[in-house]
Amino acid sequence: MSQTPLLDTIQLPADLRKLEPNQLRQVADELRTEMIAAVSQTGGHLGAGLGVVELTVALHYVFDTPRDIVIWDVGHQAYPHKILTGRRDRIRTLRTGGGLSGFTKRAESEYDPFGAAHAATSISAALGFAVARDKRGDDTNVIAVIGDGSMSAGMAYEAMNNAAETTKRLIVILNDNDMSIAPPVGGMSSYLGRLASSKTYRQIRKTAKSIAEALPAPIHDVAKKAEEYARTMVTGGTFFEELGFHYLGPFDGHDVDLLRRILKNAKEFTDRPVLIHAVTKKGKGYAPAENAADKYHGVTKFNVITGEQSKGSGGPPQYTKVFANALIHEAEKDEKIVAITAAMPSGTGLDSFGARFPDRTYDVGIAEQHAVTFAAGLAADGMKPFAAIYSTFLQRGYDQVVHDVAIQKLPVRFAMDRAGLVGADGPTHAGSFDIGYLGQLPGFIVMAAADGNELSRMVATAAAIDDRPSAFRYPRGEAEGAMLADAHIPLEIGKGRIVREGTSVALLNFGARMSEANKAADKLAAMGLSTTLADARFAKPLDEDLIRRLAREHEVLLTIEEGAEGGFGAFVLHFMARDGILDRGCKIRTLTLPDIFQDHDKPEAMYAEAGLDADAIANAALLALGRGANDLSAGASA
Ligand SMILES: Cc1ncc(C[n+]2csc(CCOP(=O)(O)OP(=O)(O)O)c2C)c(N)n1
Ligand SMILES: CC(=O)[C@@H](O)[C@H](O)COP(=O)(O)O
Ligand SMILES: [Mg+2]
């Protein structure tokens, strides 16, 4: 007999909590089906959410959310959480302009007490909430849910190290699905693997229900019971216990009734923080995900029946691929070249580099700080390390860039993918700040690729820079332009290039807005405004002669960059002020990303909003010339 759908009766967790415990399995099944259906239409992060369906149901059933709070680490697994917390009606707007964020977000819901997207922040944030509640005598519960991959990040240890001496009421759930984006790496992963595969774990799976039924004990001796319980349940979680946590587990993270009981009991632990080790499966309950090597971590739209994802346009190669191919080319010639990723082998393209050079490729886990200083050590001892870290994630290792790399002038090469706006991942992943944060560092060389061939040449250039640190940035997506004969020829340091000659307007572009700048030049030319288009190639050192010439020979000079204020345009202004060019009345405008955190949308929509598409660039030139805003599409005579 078909069951009455239950998910339709759940608008908020309070509705869930009206159900009987024996109905939760059905809720989880319906929730999983709904999530698969939704993500098949939107694309996004699938595997992680599938792995926490039961945990999400149990959490919102046992805890009085949103009074009790749940903080999801990274937040990419929070789609089931969003469906159960009043956002099911919008779940198919996920990661689209004006739609739901792909991560947790305070502004989106009271059930999202803390935003996320960069890994390993949940325990620190949860500790903050716990202490604030301790201080006001608020005995609501604070729960952090952190994955095994995120548990490889140093910040998690900083928080755990501080937790037990700071609060007595904190629940940390380690969602251990034995996956990061790629298979997890490092000693912690091995340790967790031992715990989860231990004989005791197999025993616990059989006896856990009986042990769980033995609780809760009468409140007055809950601490004694907690010790006994913890000892009974302990399966070598010594590491966590040494940090002052009760360690409970490992438990089957897909047994929704067991989770319900364990979480209910966890509320009784008030003498010190509790870490619950849940063993789950990334991609659980959807065969194409379970069987995929990446467990469908990030997917495009897909066919629910077959699991087949919509293919790319089949157009030009991704910038990421161009980088990987170029680095392989360089590494073929120089065995000192090694490559480092922080848990992003496929995203950075180092998976293909690693296939070619397995002994020269290092995945250090979600540990950007370590990655940078590890690279510095390699460079200090004669190697040529390429640290391939997304622009946004390099922010996590910035002090190491300054302290360990720049001050010591060590020749670490930074390959910064996802520079500029990234689209669906939104503000947490935008690569907006690296031009400024690297260009300010004495001795650094900072490059940006205007197209695929330029990127390839920048890899060759970086490979040849052995006396100081260098960085090159490139965006997410398809690389413009064909590869040319000079693809592996290093660039002359600090020299830009003229792409097209004009006389009235000079567009000095830095990075991959080049094609939009070229279209803007066409629009201006159609209005009788002859336009020079130059590719700066370097934000540091600047091509000072090029800037002097452009300023001298044109009525206006516009700088263009996919970066925040305080980057390339600022460096040009500093130079022009220093060099006295500004004294001679040169009209300059700096086109940058806006001084806001732009919400997610399609990249082209975001760039239009940012004023960095062809129309906006051309209009900026017209305004600078005092010609007023103009409807370029009309092609009206200026
Ligand atoms: C600081 C930082 N580095 C890299 C990433 C990219 N990233 C997103 S999810 C993820 C893997 C997370 O693994 P885990 O915590 O085990 O979660 P799971 O996907 O397995 O549920 C990574 C590396 C990130 N979000 N933050
Ligand atoms: C959740 C997370 O941080 C990563 O999965 C990130 O979304 C990857 O970004 P790309 O899809 O641009 O590789
Ligand atoms: Mg994991």
Query: What pLDDT is recorded for position 584?
Result: 86
520 and 507 Cβ atoms separated by less than 8 Å:
yes
ipTM of the complex: 0.99
pLDDT, block means (10 residues), the chain with 638 residues: 89 98 98 98 98 98 98 98 98 98 98 98 98 97 98 96 96 97 92 77 53 45 46 63 93 96 93 96 98 97 97 88 98 98 98 98 98 98 98 98 98 98 98 98 98 98 98 97 96 98 97 98 96 98 98 97 98 97 90 98 98 98 86 49
Query: What pLDDT is recorded for position 236?
Result: 58
What token pair was written down for 28?
A: 């989880």
Ligand 2 midpoint to CA 616 (Å)? 29
Q: Which ligand 1 atom is the nearest neighbour of the CA of 118?
A: 26
Q: CA-to-CA distance for 183 and 149, rounded, in angstroms?
A: 9
Query: What pLDDT is recorded for position 638?
Result: 38
- The position carrying tokens 């009468």 is 218
* From 34, 54, 368, 480, active-site residue: 368
Listed residues: CB within 5 A of ion ligand 3: 147-149, 177, 179
Question: Ligand 2 pocket, 118 CB below 6 A?
Answer: no
86 and 12 Cβ atoms separated by less than 8 Å:
yes
For residue 90, CA distances in Å to 59, 74, 303, 425, 582 come to 22, 20, 20, 17, 51
Question: Ligand 2 pocket, 475 CB below 6 A?
Answer: no
Q: Give the residue numbers of the binding site for thiamine diphosphate.
A: 76, 117-119, 149-150, 177, 286, 368
Residue nearest to atom 8 of ligand 2 (CA): 347
Q: Is 209 tagged catalytic?
A: no
**Residues whose CB is less than 8 angstroms from the CB of residue 329 and which lie 6 or more positions away in sequence, other chains included:** 456, 459, 460, 488
Q: Which ligand 1 atom is the nearest neighbour of the CA of 45?
A: 19
Query: What pLDDT is recorded for position 616?
Result: 97
Ligand 3 midpoint to CA 9 (Å)? 31
- The position carrying tokens 């086109």 is 591
170 and 163 Cβ atoms separated by less than 8 Å:
yes
Q: CA-to-CA distance for 195 and 189, rounded, in angstroms?
A: 10
Q: Is 368 tagged catalytic?
A: yes
Question: Ligand 2 pocket, 417 CB below 6 A?
Answer: no
What token pair was written down for 127?
A: 């500790």
Question: Ligand 2 pocket, 347 CB below 6 A?
Answer: yes
Query: What pLDDT is recorded for position 554?
Result: 97
Ligand 2 midpoint to CA 344 (Å)? 9
Query: What pLDDT is recorded for position 36?
Result: 98
Q: What is the pLDDT of residues 365-403, one digit of tens each?
A: 999 999 999 999 999 999 999 999 999 999 999 999 999
Q: What is the pLDDT of residues 197-232, one digit of tens each?
A: 776 555 555 554 554 454 444 434 444 544 444 444
Q: CA-to-CA distance for 606 and 577, rounded, in angstroms?
A: 31
Ligand 2 midpoint to CA 298 (Å)? 7
Question: Ligand 1 pocket, 180 CB below 6 A?
Answer: yes
Domains in the chain, please, with CATH?
7-208+216-291 (3.40.50.970), 319-473 (3.40.50.970), 497-625 (3.40.50.920)
Q: CA-to-CA distance for 462 and 493, rounded, in angstroms?
A: 10
Burial of 301-314, coded b for 16+ CB within 10 Å and e otherwise, reads: ebeeeebebeeeee
Question: Ligand 1 pocket, 506 CB below 6 A?
Answer: no
